[in-house]
Amino acid sequence: MLYALNGDIVSYSRLLADDPDNTADALSATRLIVTDQVAGAGGTLVNFVGDNFMAVFDQADHAVRTAIAVTNSLAAKNALVPEFQRMRFRMGVDVGPVRVSNDGSWLGDALNIAARIQSIAQPGGLSVSGDVYRALDEPMLRFRSKGSQHLKNIPERVEVYDFVDLPAENDTSVAPIRPLALETPKVAVLPMHTEGVSDDLRSVGAFLLSDVVSGLVDLRNLDVVDVTMTLGQTRNGGEIASNVRYVLSSGIAQVGTRVRLWASAMEVTTQNALWAQKWDTDVESLLDMADEFAEEIVRAFEIELIVGEPARFLHEIADPRSIAMVYESWYHLTAGTVSGWNQSRRINEELKSEFPDSGLGHSLAGFTDWLGVGQGFAKNPEESLSSARVDVTRGIELGDESGLGTMVLAAITLAEGDADGALTQISSTRVVRPTCDLTWGVEASIRRYLGQWEEAIELVDRAMGLSPVNKPWYPTVLAASYYVGERFEQAAAVAEEVLEHQPQNIEALLVLAASQSELGLERRAHATGDLIRERYPQANIYEWLASNPYQDDRFVDRWKKALEGAGLGSD
């Protein structure tokens, strides 16, 4: 078995066309770098034809470290030349039987697959197959899953991982896997379109848009880029970043004495419209629409990007105080910390006291208590579950149409050991408005505990589809569901992405450690286990397993064995 490394120079044809002499010289220097690095790692340079090379190695880490060394060497040379003249490789690695034919040709599927993996790597980046990733049991080498890929002329799909510690550039020609959307959304507010209107209306439009920017800036969990500012700065004073995901466009048009305002929000990568609205009035009344214009837009972003369907319910209540309290509660809950959970519970109590007839308010309070038990935040789990039961029961009585209250009640019933009762409650859940992502997220959590991992994944996918910016809880349930279904690579990949945004997420850490152990990545598993002990010195995997209501002892035994394999058993 040999490890095949394939490299191809990015945009070589353009480089050659733009500057043939310097490009030819640069290619000669690049060939020398590759030749030296391959030989230094004990590899064999199979060929270097045009702008592409292939090399083979006896060990996975020799192939990967050669790729890193080549990239770093080129980076040092590139620092001395303009951006448009820089040479960068895409590189890919696979493993398999490789042989030399009688005519000296090198043959083997690994050579072909490495070349195909290279073709979907990021410019300046390195990607490897799942087999290579598993052979690289080295915690210091960090990878991110690219998912199961269909590679050209390769009949079976191949798991691909990107090495994350190279300065690779995003390549929009390669379709990304579905993102978990855990990052804080960044919205660019574009200048208002005012073509064909008077200077007075143009000034009014600028005033209206400034109110919108102020309202968006006040939203928590949203980053705002005001493109209308001269220096194009964010509210934190930094330059406009390249990772803006959403754009707000607006405009004003005039026909006689009538004026139309419009605004729309769009996701940049997919060009999908999230929301659009228009307002008609006369010239004299335009300025009076400032508050309505700003409030409608801010409300749209609250609903579409931050809280989701619960925000729509609350805005129908039309009580600013209740809305503000729910957002404040949600902000603290999504912090993923004990203190944040306690703050959320305190605000929920105030909300119930001030708005006792809000069915959704009671259901959200019950959901918060139940979630805190599942995440290990509650000092007295039985008391918290009892409180949750009271709240969701009251929410159901008050007509919560989201189905959240009944679904949380089913989850509590399961936590109390009654699986049949939980399933009965799920089947009787009345969802008048099926657009509350929390409802499906809770059902997904129940299904994974019942061992119905495929249903759980479908439900999490539905929940994430209803919430453009997801709660870290969703992909954590997704990772655990993959683990239950013995999809260990996917489980590890999702857990790692969750941990990039929530490093303290104990369940994601445990899923990662268990998955690495199942994959035979002993050094990685033990490194993750050490990290868990460092962050949670009092963590006890047996207590954690006992607190999770898995209904099949086989799942518990698998978790236990894998976590013990990561060094997390009793000393």
Do 29 and 131 fall within a single domain? yes
- Minimum mean pLDDT among 35-49, 258-272, 297-311: which range? 297-311
Check residue 190 and give its pLDDT: 86
Do 157 and 15 fall within a single domain? yes
Per-residue pLDDT at 70 exceeds 90: yes
Q: How far apart (Å, rounded) are the C-alpha atoms in residues 295 and 20?
A: 57
Per-residue pLDDT at 232 exceeds 70: no
Is residue 452 in a domain? no
Q: How far apart (Å, rounded) are the C-alpha atoms in residues 282 and 288?
A: 10
Check residue 328 and give its pLDDT: 74
Do 105 and 220 fall within a single domain? no
- Indicate the residue among 245, 271, 306 that finishes a domain: 306
Is residue 299 in a domain? yes
Is residue 60 in a domain? yes
Query: How confident is the model over 168-197, as pLDDT tens digits?
Result: 555 434 333 344 555 677 888 888 888 888
Do 198 and 135 fall within a single domain? no
Do 271 and 225 fall within a single domain? yes
- Minimum mean pLDDT among 17-31, 72-86, 480-494: which range? 72-86
Is residue 519 in a domain? no
Is residue 266 in a domain? yes
Instruction: Give the best-scoring range by mean pLDDT among 172-181, 207-216, 262-271.
Output: 207-216
Query: How confident is the model over 457-508, as pLDDT tens digits?
Result: 999 988 887 765 556 688 899 999 999 999 998 899 889 888 877 788 889 9
Is residue 513 in a domain? no
Q: How far apart (Å, rounded) are the C-alpha atoms in residues 337 and 502?
A: 9
In this structure, what are the phi and psi dihedrals at residue 275, rounded to the nearest 5 degrees? -165, 150
Q: How far apart (Å, rounded) are the C-alpha atoms in residues 115 and 4?
A: 9
Per-residue pLDDT at 129 exceeds 60: yes
What does the pLDDT average to over 364-382?
88
Q: 240 is written with which tokens?
A: 């406009």
What does the pLDDT average to over 48-68?
94
Plot region of 15 (φ>0 → left; ψ -120 to 50 → alpha; else → beta): alpha
Q: Are strands 52-57 and 158-163 parallel, antiparallel or unpaired?
A: unpaired
Q: How far apart (Å, rounded) are the C-alpha atoms in residues 116 and 93?
A: 9
Residue 6 belongs to domain with CATH number: 3.30.70.1230
Per-residue pLDDT at 167 exceeds 70: no
- Indicate the residue among 148, 163, 178 that finishes a domain: 163
Check residue 239 and give its pLDDT: 41
Residue 198 belongs to domain with CATH number: 3.40.50.10070
77 lies in which domain range? 2-163
- Minimum mean pLDDT among 21-30, 269-278, 367-376, 477-486: which range? 269-278
In this structure, how many other beta carbons lie within 10 angstroms of the beta carbon of residue 102? 5
Is residue 28 in a domain? yes
Per-residue pLDDT at 309 exceeds 90: no
The answer to whether 480 touches 444, Cβ cutoff 8 Å, is no
Per-residue pLDDT at 295 exceeds 90: no
Is residue 552 in a domain? no
Domain count, the chain: 2
Do 211 and 107 fall within a single domain? no
Do 77 and 46 fall within a single domain? yes
- Indicate the residue among 262, 283, 306 that finishes a domain: 306
Check residue 307 and give its pLDDT: 63
